[in-house]
Structure 1
Amino acid sequence: MKDLDISLNDLKQLTKWVKESGDIRELSLSCNGLDFFISRNENTNRDVTSQAPVAPMPAPVASSSSSQEKIEVKDSVSVPIESPAAPACEVTVGENEVLIKAPMVGTFYKSPKPGAPAFVEVGQQVSPKSIVCIIEVMKLMNNLEAKVDGRIKEIYVEDQQPVEFGQPIMLIEKV
């Protein structure tokens, strides 16, 4: 297969496409000397050879979800990718409330740096451009904004906790 120029966002989109597709169970591609294999079947064990050095990956997050997917790299760890259909907890959202969900798999940070005050606390007023947290993905910090005028009603995630795609993070009561 011919090597492709592909970004992390492209890989995320491909993974999402495979997850949502009813017909595709596996996808294999080569990019800049790295071979990628995405599978919807948790029992699929396929080694993928990498000719470039592989950076250490974080330890897998344990989950009771039966709809896990895995990305495997030879001589490295197998990292489960949670299905967006299975968020970590169920949250009831009222008519005048907005639920902020994790837009990606990553690590939740409540403050801009260790020891700094949290972006928001329960009961705090927020505006649409207020930063409420950071989700770190592969050393990239992604600010999440409130997107509404309101008050923080609940925070469901602890600082430095891993989050899954679609996992509830905060509940904002609109004002």
Structure 2
Amino acid sequence: MDIKQIQDLIRFVSKSGVNEVSIEQTDFKITIKTNQAPTIVNATIPAAAPGIQQPATPVAHAHTPAQTEGPAAADVSKYVTIKSPMIGTFYRSASPDKPNFVNVGDEIQAGSVLCIIEAMKLFNEIESEVSGRIVKVLVDNSSPVEYDQPLFLVEPM
């Protein structure tokens, strides 16, 4: 299994709402766990398959917090979207007992630390590239994020 197939598997697991996936082949074993609430999905991956196959049964997608409804969704064009530069786990603070780096309504400057994304046991501080005011946090704390996934909406100054 190459890195592309592993990344595809991580994307599939985070989007499907599955809590844990474990694959074992002759030369390796991989287990992917998320912090999402458990969802039961029946998936069949043939043992002789050279790569990752799509599930044999349809997967029910849960409502994600990034989706917005009503009038708030209508006027997002004036906001700057700050996106994840990597795949990993999103954290709003440096540790559970510390305050969040930013909250809705906070004014930020370019270079301000917004969050941390943990990737392969490395904690990466994500800094703002714009100055403005945080309008919305699009990801829940301790949630898995994908490359280029929207994290924050910022009203530029």
The TM-score, its normalising length taken from structure 2, stands at 0.59
Asked if residue 99 in structure 1 is aligned to residue 81 in structure 2, the reply is: yes
In 2, the alpha carbon distance for the partners of 1:132 and 1:139 equals 19
Report the secondary structure of 2:123's partner residue: strand
Report the equivalent of 1:164. Answer: 146
Map of 1:77 onto structure 2: 30
Q: Distance in 2 between matches of 1:62 and 1:145?
A: 24
**1:143 and 1:164 mapped to 2: Cα distance?**
16
Structure with greater contact order relative to length (CA < 8 Å, sep ≥ 6)? 2
1:121 aligns with 2:103: yes
% same residue: 39
Matched residues in 2 for 1:37 and 1:153: separation?
A: 35
User: Partner amino acid for 1:120?
Assistant: V
| Matched position secondary structure for 1:152 | strand
Gaps of 5+ in 2: 17-22, 33-51, 53-63
Aligned length: 111
Cα deviation, residue 90, structure 1: 6.1
Selected match of 2:15 from 60, 63, 66: 63
* Alignment check: 8 A CA contact 1:37 1:72 kept: no
Equivalent residue, structure 2, for 1:142: 124
1:166 CA displacement: 1.5
State the shift of 1:158 in Å: 1.0
For 1:70-113, what per-residue CA distance to the aligned partner results, in whole angstroms no more than 9, with x for missing partners?
x9873412668xxxxxxx75686423x21011111100000011
Structure 1 residue runs of 5 or longer lacking an equivalent are 1-34, 43-57, 65-70, 81-87
Q: Which amino acid aligns with 1:155?
A: V
The one-letter amino acid of 2:15's match is: S
Contact 1:123 1:153 (C-alpha < 8 Å) held by counterparts = yes
Question: Shift of residue 39 of structure 1?
Answer: 4.7
- Structural RMSD (CA): 3.3
Contact 2:114 2:126 in 1 (8 A): yes
